[in-house]
Amino acid sequence: MEYIKLLEKKKFYHKNKNRLSKEVAEKISKSFDIDFTYNSTTIEGNTLTLIETKAVIEDKISIGGKTLREIYEVVNHNKAFDYVKQSIEKSEELNEEKVKDIHEILTENIIQGGIYRNTDVAITGATHTPPTPNEMYNQLKFFYEDLNANQIKMNSIELAAWTHAEFVRIHPFIDGNGRTSRLIMNYQLMKNGFLPISIQVKDRLEYYNALDIYATKRELTPFYNFIFNLEEKRLDEVNKIVRQLT
């Protein structure tokens, strides 16, 4: 029932979004891009503020006192999200090649991207330990197979939540797994006509807990509910603007 209501909100958005002026639509999009990049990089430890992130992305200004890595993380994340949007405009499916491309863009000038790890890793603060490299490759094989199968088995929010949770559980890269997971989650949402969402830094404890429950128990419901609520909030915010301006 709740999902049906969400579909109605999505339908309203698509029916009325063209009533927004080009300027307003671009403003909404750019505002989200900055917020998404800021929160996604800050969750991983980047220290640029929201204003500094905006300055780097929009004004191409280098921020004093920040490392080159932090600047690249912000610039690369914005580029990677642009790549996601361009791929969706071309109706390209999410697959292994896309995931590696996204990771390579994210890690440009930081590490060599798009290459799976060959060492064990640990996730700070999590009770779950990612699989060893050999087991990781087996699980990745099933992950990419399930990307297709789950499009039939799951609703769009469930698919997006599972894509994020399962990929970050496997943790196939040395670095950048969280940012990659949030990007491919939004890939799934946008591909299915929903709006992209930004997981806020202030909500990261709930976010981490929900992911840890999935990783240890394979229970997706807490993370599904977390993503569902963010999507509903985003649709409500944008639809409110649509109503006010039309």
For the chain, give me the number of helices (H) and strands (E)? 10, 0
CB 50 within 8 A of CB 32: no
Cα–chain center distance at 120: 24
Rounded CA gap, 52 and 90, in Å? Answer: 32
DSSP for residue 18: G
Supply the residues annotated as catalytic: 171
Cα separation, 137 vs 171, whole angstroms: 11
Buried residues in 162-197 as b, exposed as e (16+ CB within 10 A): bbbbbbbbbbbbbbbbbbbbbbbbbbbbbbeebbbb
Q: Which residue type, as a one-letter code, is found at position 102?
A: I
Residues in the chain: 246
